[in-house]
A and B are shown apart, each in its own frame.
Chain A
Amino acid sequence: AQKVTQAQTEISVVEKEDVTLDCVYETRDTTYYLFWYKQPPSGELVFLIRRNSFDEQNEISGRYSWNFQKSTSSFNFTITASQVVDSAVYFCALSERYNQGGKLIFGQGTELSVKP
């Protein structure tokens, strides 16, 4: 069965702290894709990153970095030197290559609050 678990419901940090958002997934497929989306207070869902199951290289984009580990079925997201504008709900999602046309299975989200 497909499942995404974001065990951290809420995280609160002070500006400039580093913070890691955890994501654990379950899938039987060997080909799958993992995503992170950001939902700021305004409500829209903003695409951040997509990784496929064959590419375990970590990725860095500015203050954002992602650590994909198939051995632990995890796809964690780290924000370095957090800023108030990073305050949002972050969703991890899974899509399986051959199942159901690419629908996204979302985790429950982690609400990140960055205080000045």
Chain B
Amino acid sequence: DSGVTQTPKHLITATGQRVTLRCSPRSGDLSVYWYQQSLDQGLQFLIQYYNGEERAKGNILERFSAQQFPDLHSELNLSSLELGDSALYFCASSASTGGAEAFFGQGTRLTVV
């Protein structure tokens, strides 16, 4: 058990809909990362928050957004969903930035139908 909790584990939704994925980092970790894993793109970095502030952005679509709350949990919001958004979404947390080991949650498998 990595200590990172993601909910839900599975999500099936229709195209055009909006979903929210939730992540609780390991106790004490200030940094939260979101990654997307798909068959064609592999594991891709989406966005990072550190102590409530956005720290880095990767190839995140404009339809996607995230935030980190004062209690350090994070949410990833995906809207106007398309079939191609079907993927495994991982949250990871680390104690700091710049090379600290990141521990991953179990992932949320999103299926858009």
Q: Point out residues on A near B: beta carbons under 8 Å.
A: 31-33, 35, 37, 43-47, 50, 52, 91, 95-98, 100-109
Contacts and interface: CB of A to CB of B under 8 A. Distances in A.
A37 B31 CA distance: 19
B45 A43 contact: no
Interface string B72-113: 000000000000000010101010111111111111010000
B5 to A, nearest CB: 12
Residue among A33, A45, A100 with most chain B CB within 10 A = A45
B43 A102 contact: no
A37 to B, nearest CB: 7
Contact of B2 (A33, A44, A95, A96): A44
B94 A102 contact: yes
B107 A104 contact: no
Contacts of A100: 45, 48, 56, 58
A67 B44 CA distance: 25
A102 B48 contact: yes
19 contacts: A35-B102, A43-B88, A43-B109, A45-B90, A45-B107, A46-B104, A47-B104, A100-B48, A101-B31, A101-B55, A101-B98, A102-B31, A102-B98, A103-B33, A103-B58, A104-B43, A104-B45, A105-B45, A106-B43
A68 B109 CA distance: 34
A108 B43 CA distance: 8
Contacts of B28: none
B87 to A, nearest CB: 12
A106 B88 contact: no
Contact of B99 (A33, A37, A43, A105): A33
A47 B97 CA distance: 16
B70 interface: no
Contacts of B33: 103-104
A48 to B, nearest CB: 10
